[in-house]
Structure 1
Amino acid sequence: MIFMLTRKLLPLSAMVLALGLSGLTTHVNATDNTYGNGAIITVPKKMQGTWYSYDRNAHNGRKITFTAHTVNGKIIYTQDKSIISDYFNGNIQNQTDFDNVTKNWMSGQTTKMKNHLFYEINPWISFENWSLYRVMPQKINGKKHNVLLYSSRYDGGNYYRSKKLAKQMKNYKFKKVDYHL
């Protein structure tokens, strides 16, 4: 009886071990900088949460959600600057694998422009996307609201904490905000 139980458990144990190790291997490959990824970015607490916009140029859609380390469910990493040129110059060994591993990654960094600190968050492989964000308090109808300002250096607008406020403020530009960086 013990022999039969051992004979049935041995292949099952080997399969569980193999699956566990393959999962570990995938994890190691995804974080070893083969894909140009560095540290995971931490999104500032005041940016975390869901924001809404009804601006005609809301470049990331009408809703954007930040968690501690993601934007719209995609993890944000620092990025090795050479990876984009390697990608566009055909220097990536297996581009299909690269695309599959990085499809849910974003690149992120802080950028100082015109004496303001922005969080630049872009698709992993992009050419001149420049999605810049910062939270700035603004008075709306006599109340102070945190507004998520965005700019692509060519256009910009606002995201708000509620859909109602976003609809009310559709396409509004605050006077003391420079949206074109």
Structure 2
Amino acid sequence: MLKRKLLPLTSMVFVLGLSGLLSQAGTVQAAYGNDGVVTIPKQMRGVWYSYDRDAHNGRKLIFTAHSFNGKPVYSQKSSIVSDYFNGKVKKQQAFDQVTKNWMSGKTTKLKGDVFYEIDPWISFENWSLYQVVFQIINGKKHYILIYSSRYDGGNYYRSKKLAKKMKNYKFAKVNYTM
């Protein structure tokens, strides 16, 4: 008899505790400029490879619905970076610890092109811009991931073999620098 009464009570305490933790996690995220999870465009999702000398984020990129190279991507409040650098963020060590694996993501329009921008949570002039386009390579249509840091750029491909073959190649009608 005691077990029957204890199980609902235990369940209720567990649920209330869990909801308290979740609401506290939301408060913590908001305190660090986090406006919520971002959804990566479907065409970008998957694994991409590059052998370009300027492959600024590594030779292999992995996009999922909500992450970049295993790190969650969030929408960032516009003021958080300036608040951080202007000393308005209290307890910066705690801030750095909480946000060290967070990435910020957003759509950016430059010179008539739409890019998806993914940067570390706190960065100054990083500008990692990505755009999926198709190109004809040896008579076949291939989707490639263009990247730009506004100063340099290059390509990522769906296969290592094609990435090695196209190493450091620049397509004529692609603007790699913004």
TM-superposed CA distance for 1:23, in Å, is 4.1
Q: Distance in 2 between matches of 1:80 and 1:135?
A: 26
Structure 1 window deviating more from structure 2 (119-128 vs 95-104): it is 95-104
Q: Aligned ranges for residues 8-27 of structure 1 at < 5 Å? A: 20=18, 23-24=21-22, 26-27=24-25
Please tell me the residue identity of whatever aligns with 2:22: L
Residue equivalent to 1:145: 142
Structure 1 window deviating more from structure 2 (35-44 vs 140-149): it is 35-44
Residue 158 of structure 2, aligned match among 154, 158, 161? 161
Is 1:102 equivalent to 2:96 in the alignment?
Answer: no
Is 1:87 equivalent to 2:57 in the alignment?
Answer: no
Residue equivalent to 2:28: 30
Inter-CA distance 111–83: structure 2 relative to 1 (3 Å threshold): same
Unaligned runs of 5+ in 1: 6-11
Calculate the TM-score normalised by the size of structure 2. Answer: 0.87
TM-superposed CA distance for 1:152, in Å, is 0.3
TM-superposed CA distance for 1:34, in Å, is 0.8
Inter-CA distance 99–49: structure 2 relative to 1 (3 Å threshold): same
Aligned with 2:31: secondary structure?
coil
Q: Distance in 2 between matches of 1:163 and 1:30?
A: 40
CA RMSD of aligned residues (A): 2.3
Please tell me the residue identity of whatever aligns with 1:28: G
TM-superposed CA distance for 1:20, in Å, is 4.5
TM-superposed CA distance for 1:175, in Å, is 0.7
Structure 1 window deviating more from structure 2 (146-155 vs 103-112): it is 103-112
The runs of at least 4 aligned residues of structure 1 exceeding 6 Å deviation read: 15-19
Residue equivalent to 1:8: none
Q: Distance in 1 between matches of 2:99 and 2:93?
A: 10
TM-superposed CA distance for 1:16, in Å, is 6.8
Is 1:43 equivalent to 2:8 in the alignment?
Answer: no
Inter-CA distance 25–42: structure 2 relative to 1 (3 Å threshold): closer
Residue equivalent to 1:133: 130
TM-superposed CA distance for 1:46, in Å, is 0.6
Offset from partner CA, 1:80-138 (integer Å, 9 cap, x none)? 12111111111111111111111121111111112111001100000000110000000
Q: How many residues align?
A: 175
